[in-house]
Structures are given as C-alpha cells and as structure tokens.
Amino acid sequence: MNPPSAVAPSTPDSVSDEASLISLEMHAPVDLAEDLERFRNKLSAYLPPEEVTRIESAYIFGNTAHLGQFRSSGDPYISHPLAVADTLADWRLDAQALTAALLHDVMEDTACTKQQIADKFGKAVAELVDGVSKIDHIENQSFEEAQAENFRKMLLAMARDVRVILIKLADRLHNMRTLSAVPLPKRRRIARETLDIYAPIANRLGLNALYRELQEHAFRHLRPMRYRVLEKAVKNARGNRRQVVGKIMESLRQRLPDAGITAEVMGREKHLYSIYRKMRDKHLSFSQVLDIFGFRVVVNDAPTCYLALGALHGLYKPVPGKFKDYIAIPKANGYQSLHSTLIGPYGTPVEVQIRTHEMHHIAETGVASHWMYKDEDALSELQQKTHKWLQSLIELQSASGDSAEFLENVKVDLFPDEVYVFTPLGKILVLPRGASAVDFAYAVHTDIGNRCVGCRINFELMPLRSELRNGDRIEILTSPHANPNPAWLTYVKSSKARAQIRHFLKTRQHEESVALGERLLGQTLRGFGLRLGDIGSAVWERFMRSFGAKSKKDVLTDIGLGKRHAVIVARRLAADRVAEGGVAATKKTNGAIIINGDNGGAVQLAKCCQPVPGDPIVGVIRKGQGLVVHAHDCRSINKAGHERDNWVDVEWGASIDERQFEVGIRIVTENRRGVLASIAAAIAESGSDIQNVGIDDDRGAYTTLNFTLQVSNRLHLARIMRSLRRVPEVVRITRTKSGAK
C-alpha cells in the first residue's frame, strides 16, 4: 500500500445508514466516475441487487474515511481501494470480499476501528479487513522483524480464510501498477518483496496471470536497465521471427481440423522475466534463447487433449524428455495441461500447451475459480490441495520459533520446482526439487519423519540423504528409538521437514538442559551439605523474585545452558535456607556427571580434541552451549585458565560403548600403488567405518593419509591401530587431536 500524504480528520461514524442509498456519482471524484460505472456493471453481472447496494454503501463509507488523503501519484486515495475491488470483481468474488477490499486500508490509515466495521458491515468483513491490515506498533523490533511479523499475521489469517490473501494480492497488483510514483529506495524494496513473497503466493494459489504480471512489474523496477534491453531485444526478435511464427500458427490451425479436432490455437510470447531467469540460470545470451514464442491449444475435453497431442507430434517431431503430463498429475496449485516441445521449421523449438477450456480458466485464476465456477467438479481437488497447504501454514507456525523463521520456512515452500514420487501404496506426493527421503518421510507424517532410520528407493536400500527423482517409489524404514539428526538440516528441502526437525531439536535441547541443570545444581549443593530436595518452595520463590526468573525449570535450563553459574545459584539458595531457619553443613561431597554420548544436545563432545570413551575427560560449562566435554590434555581448555571455575567433574557412563564416536588418525605410508586399498581393508576388518579421508601432497617416497573413523571406545581405536601397523607400507600412525598437547 502506498501511504497517503495526509490523514483525514473525519471519522466514518459520521456516515449514516441512509448514505448507502445516495447516488455513487455524488461521492466519486470526477476522474473516477468511469471506473466506478465499470465496477458497478461488473457487480450487476453476477450479484443480486441488494448485495450491489451493500457494496456501494462500503464505497461511500471508505470514501468518507479517506477524505482528504491522496496517493503518491496525486490521485484521490479512494482510487486504490476501488481498483483492488475491481480486480476481485474480475474474479467474481463474493460481496463480503468486495466490501472488505473497499475498506481494506481504513483501519491502517484512518480513525476507523475494527468494531465500527463489524457493527456496520458484519463480523466476517471486519475479520477480512483486520487480516489484511498491518500490525501498527511492534515495539523493540527492527523493520525486518516487523515485516516478518506482519507476514506471519497475514498468512495465518489466510489459513483461516483464503479471501484475505486474494484481497492482499489484488492490493499488491495495483500498487505494482502504480509503483513509478514511489521514491526509488522504497520502490526497490517493494519490488523485491513482491518477487520473494507475493508472486510465489500467487503461483502457489494457481493465479497464473497475476503471478506473471507481478513478476514483470517487479523485474522492471528491480532491474530497469536489463528490463529495457530485453524488451527491445524481444521487440526486434518479434519482427525477425514473424514469418516463422506465422507459418507454425497456420500449420497448427490446419492440422487439428484435419484430424477432426475442434480447437482454439493462440500464440503467446514468453514473459521478459522468464527469459531473464532462463538466461541467468543457464548462462545463455538472448540469441541462445530460442523458445521465446509458444502456442496454446484449447479444446473441449480431456480425451481430446491427448488426440491433439498425437496430431501435433505427427506434424513436428517432439524433443525427447520435454513432454510433461500435468493432466494426469496436476501441479500442487491445481494447474493442468499437456506440455510438449516440438522442432518446428528451420530447427526452431516450439513449446505447445494443450488444455481444456475449464483447465484454462483454472490455470489463469486458480483458487479464485472457486467463486467464478462453483459448479465445476474439477475444482474440488484444487480446493482440497489449497486447504491442505493452508493448514500446513498452521503446522509451520507451531513448529517455528519466531516470525523470521516462520517466514523463512514459508519461502522455502513457495518455490516448488516439483518432483512427483510414489508411496508403497501408489499414492502420489509432490515435493520440492532436490528433496531427500527425509522430506518424503515428513510429508507422509511427522512421526514417520522423526523415527526414520533408512529407506528403500525403487526397492533398493539407499541413504536417507538420497535425492528423489520423478517416479521414484519410496518406502521409509523406522525405529521406535530413533530421533531426528541435526545433519538432516543440511539437505532437507521442504519447509515442513525443516520446521519439524528444528522444533524437535529445540525441544530436546530444552529437556536435556533442564536435566543437566538439575544434576549440576544437585552436585554443587552437595558441597554445602544439602540435597536439591532440601530446598523448599518458599526459598525458590524468593530466589526467582530476586533474579527475575519465571519458574524453577527456567533456572535449571539456564544452568544447563551455562547462562547461570550453579555455584552462585547454590550459594544463594543455601543462604536463603539458613535465613529461613535451616542448617547448612560444610561437608564436601562429590558426584561426577555421567556422560552417555548425547552429542548435539545439552551435553556436547568437543570438536577440537574428539574425546572417546576411555579417554580421561573434563567438562566445561560454556554460555549458550551447556556442558562441553574435552579430553583432559586438550590445549584449548588448558590455555583458558580463567575458566577453571566452570570446570565440572565428568566420567563416561556404563552404556557409552553402544554409541559410535568420530576420531582422527594420521598415517604416513610408503608411496606405493594399492596402499590406500590395503589400509581401507584393514580398517574395515577392525569393525570401523571411514567417515572421511584426505591425502596430503606427495613428498617423494612417502604419503600422509588423514582418516576420520568411527570407533566405540579407546580400546577399539587401539585395535584398529594395531591392525594398521601390520600393513607393510605403513611407517607411522598417530591420533590427531587438534586441541591436544
């Protein structure tokens, strides 16, 4: 929305109920009279007279509220809501949506309140206006945070009622059409926002015509020089290729009737932004982009689409691998069509889209077709898909930590270069291009994703990180004791998988931090002769009031994460207990923290020295990290002598050998053929997996190999090293610990 230059002092309360009956022309600026008349004719074409009268009343209400306000272009402000409502009338939206469109800025830019709108036009209209309106005051937030919060509000309102986003998209369309009147920095910000958020949402909802127009306007304002150069190049190419395009058009129009097919054939020009993106992504010059012209064939029914395809393939040879059947497998936004690329005259590639009239309407207006063509059965599946996506926004909201993370997850979901895969029962799932088996698991169900341990792709066992391809059949293997791995975040593509993995890891870290904080505080309290159970609720209440903590659990979490010192908390609790009448003994006792290898949670194994079970270890409390376990001879902790107050006694747990730990070794060998294979075989025979291998530069007769292995404990590592020493070419073996002395 372009801000008005002034805020009108008047309020909408001054408008009486009889105002809706006054002729609209009396309230219309002179230069809007024609627009208003055209809008009224559109309404009369599909709405009953009483609803048209109600919409006219909303126009008068909004015009009065915005009286004295002007857009950056100098036009009366009411011209903007009228243009938004006019776009919605093209989509034949209902009276509530049109009323809300005419009032969509009154809550932001005038003294009008949500309650006033509800009293005059109903609660549903007030909710729509509120969903489109920005949050006025978000304290202590940057512009980016405020924008993210506003997007979250809008998208969640959209999940409750899709008309919210249709109003917002029509609002953004008119703003983009008039963006030239806005100052350059703001113009670029709005154009970038449109390209990143609003155009993809329009695409996701199947509003193809709107999607393309938003992209074109955004491209023109973001890259004005490139836009002008491409525009000129396309204009020149149009003249140069007119003869070829005309010949192809004539051939298509002749071939289809000859095959007994009644069809409408239309030529279309590729949009400038599509050409620009193809040149950028594939590193092409304009002369190398040959398919700037395409053709659309519209027939009466779906079977005729396939007959037309056969006829055209008989006319021009198809390009192998360039055929897509979106009729049998529609896109997630409901789009249906047959796509084929043919080799036309003079070797010119020709892209042809074949669809029915109903498919064409849905392709252009997407979910808005629900209001235009309510009786068409083809829309039911589209409505179900749209509803499912809107509900997924609710799930993303609950799994996302804040507005910025929520917006990031939604952005991931809004660029669906899709891949179609099958469940074992033959159900088709649509995932983003590059998705892995983990994405598939979460698409089936969150619990399946959280418990997956492996997969079969086309009946073959494959790693979970395997990239899925069109037509793959995937079966997920699960274990009741499995948990999400933080490493999954490096290769998952879908927003649902990313949000659910982060949510699980945050929850687990919180729970582990509470448990660790409790153990650390209990250990420290023993130094004062107390147990954690000796601290009464009154002592805890006083402590929390003094230090601004919300709950006992929050205090324990902060201790586990290193944000509070257990010694300070224990000393204060012990002092408060003495003040309450208790007795604190001075007897010192000790109890080491048991390490069970919980890597990635509140207890982490240091990367610098890579301790494994059997190594002498020491724990260090680090702020924001929790308990970090180092080898006792680690150089990094011995250098930081000032942190000794944060050291904690730790020891390996009895069940630790059930886990695998990474360790590095360096092997100097004679530079002979086959030595790497011999060493890999020796490692495998010792029951270890190689995680990584690197080779230093050859130095004459010797080569240095660096391995990262998985071992159970220090004894296992010793067995591996003994096995390697038996390899004749091995000269020296050492364990690599970058932080050790």
Q: What is the mean pLDDT of residues 195-220?
A: 86
Domain assignment present for residue 214? The answer is yes
Residue ending a domain, among 320, 347, 376, is: 376
Q: Chain centroid to CA 580: how far?
A: 53
> What digits encode the pLDDT tens for the residues 379-407?
455 566 665 666 666 555 555 555 555 55
Q: Is 108 a catalytic residue?
A: yes
Domain that holds residue 31: 12-226
| Shared domain check, 266 and 237 | yes
| Shared domain check, 184 and 266 | no
Look at residues 670, 672, 690, 694 and name the one whose alpha carbon lies nearest to residue 681.
Answer: 690
| Shared domain check, 64 and 47 | yes
How far apart CA 247 and CA 267 sit, in angstroms, is 12
Domain assignment present for residue 407? The answer is no
> What digits encode the pLDDT tens for the residues 468-489?
987 788 999 998 888 888 788 8
For the chain, helix, strand, coil in percent to 5 are 55, 15, 30
| Shared domain check, 108 and 48 | yes
Q: Is 615 a catalytic residue?
A: no
% of the chain with per-residue pLDDT over 90? 16
Domain assignment present for residue 677? The answer is yes
Residue ending a domain, among 376, 399, 431, is: 376
CATH number for the domain harbouring residue 278: 3.30.460.10
> Domain count of the chain?
4
| Shared domain check, 261 and 173 | no
| Shared domain check, 220 and 252 | no
> What digits encode the pLDDT tens for the residues 538-592?
888 877 777 777 788 878 877 776 667 677 677 778 777 766 655 444 444 445 6
301: its two tokens: 């029914």
> What digits encode the pLDDT tens for the residues 286-311?
877 766 778 999 999 999 999 999 99
| Shared domain check, 319 and 242 | yes
Domain assignment present for residue 465? The answer is no
Domain assignment present for residue 309? The answer is yes
DSSP code of residue 488: G
For residue 624, CA distances in Å to 118, 161, 556, 559 come to: 48, 40, 13, 10
Q: What is the mean pLDDT of residues 175-185?
A: 89
> What digits encode the pLDDT tens for the residues 321-333?
888 898 888 877 7
Look at residues 342, 293, 339, 338 and name the one whose alpha carbon lies nearest to residue 319.
Answer: 342
Which residue has better confidence, 648 or 320? 320
The pLDDT, as a whole number, for residue 10 is 39
For residue 272, CA distances in Å to 139, 229, 236, 314 come to: 41, 10, 13, 31
| Shared domain check, 48 and 157 | yes
80: its two tokens: 């903007």
Length of the chain (residues): 741
Domain assignment present for residue 712? The answer is yes
CATH number for the domain harbouring residue 150: 1.10.3210.10
CATH number for the domain harbouring residue 697: 3.30.70.260
Catalytic position from the list 13, 75, 108, 193: 108
Catalytic position from the list 56, 86, 105, 109: 109
| Shared domain check, 321 and 235 | yes
Inter-residue contact 265 to 224 (CB < 8 Å): no
| Shared domain check, 60 and 204 | yes
Residue ending a domain, among 174, 206, 226, is: 226
The pLDDT, as a whole number, for residue 147 is 62
Domain assignment present for residue 397? The answer is no
299: its two tokens: 């027939």
Inter-residue contact 297 to 263 (CB < 8 Å): yes
> What digits encode the pLDDT tens for the residues 84-111?
999 999 888 889 999 999 998 888 888 8
Extended strands (E) in 696-740? 702-711, 730-736
| Shared domain check, 698 and 684 | yes
| Shared domain check, 667 and 641 | no
How much is the mean pLDDT over the chain? 78
Domain assignment present for residue 408? The answer is no
